[in-house]
Amino acid sequence: MSTQAINIGIDESDRQAIAQGLSALLADTYTLYLKTHYFHWNVTGPMFQTLHLMFETQYNELALAVDLIAERIRALGVQAPGTYREFMRLSSIAESDGVPKAHEMIHQLVEGQEAVVRTARSLFARVDAAHDEATADLLTQRIQLHEKTAWMLRSLLEQSAHDAGLLVGVVGVNQADLKSNQPRLFNRIPRAWACLLYTSPSPRDQRGSRLPSSA
């Protein structure tokens, strides 16, 4: 049975090239979805509730995006990739090695969000030349969302660094750790936070003459 030729005002060579680029975007989006879902399951620490819920919001949005991108590929007359083998070949996002600490999870997701932005942006020249407004609109929406999500995640890292600075000299974290061994510093922060958040200050504490220790 023959199929009807596609006649949507975009040459077949352009449709194939755009679909190839969208396939890379699909692979990046799916890989980031898996990584975000994986971190949602395994995040621990004092920011558990915040990150657990944030990651859930993000992977749900990515799951919807996967469908939108795949359907655009199909609308261009090309089959969408859908196997792990294809996604590993096409994606620019590396898998996580083990279960990282919470701050490293955030760092990796920032990198992943930015990688998706770069992949989407790289398609614009071909899409514009082919006057493919529908794909251009999809790419614009994806770029806007991923840039905003990267900004929000990056802000958490900035806050973590700020909080770490506040702990210097207060809970036994020294300047050498802050400057030269940040990963070990962050591993010590949860206990310090617990001390600051759950220790009721005495009148002497409030006058600043004694502060809770990290012991």
- pLDDT tens for the 215 residues of the chain, in order: 667 899 999 999 999 999 999 999 999 999 999 999 999 999 999 999 999 999 999 999 999 999 999 999 999 999 999 999 999 999 999 998 899 999 999 999 999 999 999 999 999 999 999 999 999 999 999 999 999 999 999 999 986 554 544 434 444 444 455 444 444 444 444 433 333 333 334 444 444 433 344 43
Residue 97: the pLDDT is 87
Residue 3: the pLDDT is 77
Residue 160: the pLDDT is 55
What lies within 8 Å, CB to CB, of 57 at 6+ separation is none
Residue matched to tokens 């004694």: 210
Residue matched to tokens 């991108």: 69
For residues 188 and 163, the answer to whether their CB atoms sit within 8 Å is: no
pTM: 0.75
**Encoding tokens for residue 25?**
């975007």
**Encoding tokens for residue 142?**
């994806």
Residue 206: the pLDDT is 40
Residue 139: the pLDDT is 98
Residue matched to tokens 């969000």: 113
Residue 197: the pLDDT is 34
What lies within 8 Å, CB to CB, of 161 at 6+ separation is none
Residue 185: the pLDDT is 43
Query: How far apart, in Å, are the Cα atoms of 130 and each of 69, 114, 120?
Result: 18, 25, 16
